[in-house]
Amino acid sequence: MKRIGIWMDKEKAHIVSIEGEQERFETIPSELDFFKPSGGSGTKSAKWGPQDVVQDSKYLEKEKHQLKRYFNKLAEALGDAEAIALFGPADTSEKFSKELKTNHKNLAAKLKTVAKADSMTDNQIRALVREYFEDKR
């Protein structure tokens, strides 16, 4: 039985695969661009500051497409899993869960939990996944 736990955020996903007594650890980068839009080309001494409009919608749309590619990469990595657990500090794991339920129904059926977990070292992530699946036996 292959069990996979993923600790993920927008930067990267750490995948821990447990099959029998063997454990494999892999990191998949997201390749997301972290936009820091700043507007204004007017003078700094203008009474109300720069008057240019920053189009956040184009940045958000680009991020949405990049997240979709990231989630598809992760779904491919989950391929033959029999049980899946998602962990992460932000809402990225919840977004990935929704993506699985929408576009990867066979993987969504194997999803056991989506839980919040703060930033961790690689060894802490391994231990978290190991403990989660040992408790579920």
Closest CA to 37 of 55, 25, 23, 50: 55
The per-residue pLDDT string of the chain (137 residues; one tens digit each, 9 = 90 and over) reads 799 999 999 999 999 999 988 999 999 998 887 766 555 555 555 566 655 666 678 788 888 889 999 999 999 999 889 999 999 988 899 999 999 999 999 999 999 999 999 989 999 999 999 999 987 76
- On whether the CB atoms of residues 28 and 74 are closer than 8 A, the answer is yes
Residue 48: burial class (beta carbons within 10 Å; 0-12, 13-18, 19+): exposed
Residue 39 to residue 27: CA distance in whole angstroms:
35
Place of tokens 């007017």: 42
Please tell me the number of Cα atoms within 13 Å of 67 on its side-chain side. Answer: 20
What is the reported pLDDT for 56?
74
pTM for the full predicted model: 0.81
User: Helices (DSSP H) in 40-91: which residue ranges?
Assistant: 56-78
What is the reported pLDDT for 51?
57
Q: For each of the domains in the chain, give its residue range(s) and CATH number, in order of start.
A: 2-33+62-135 (3.30.420.60)
What is the reported pLDDT for 58?
79
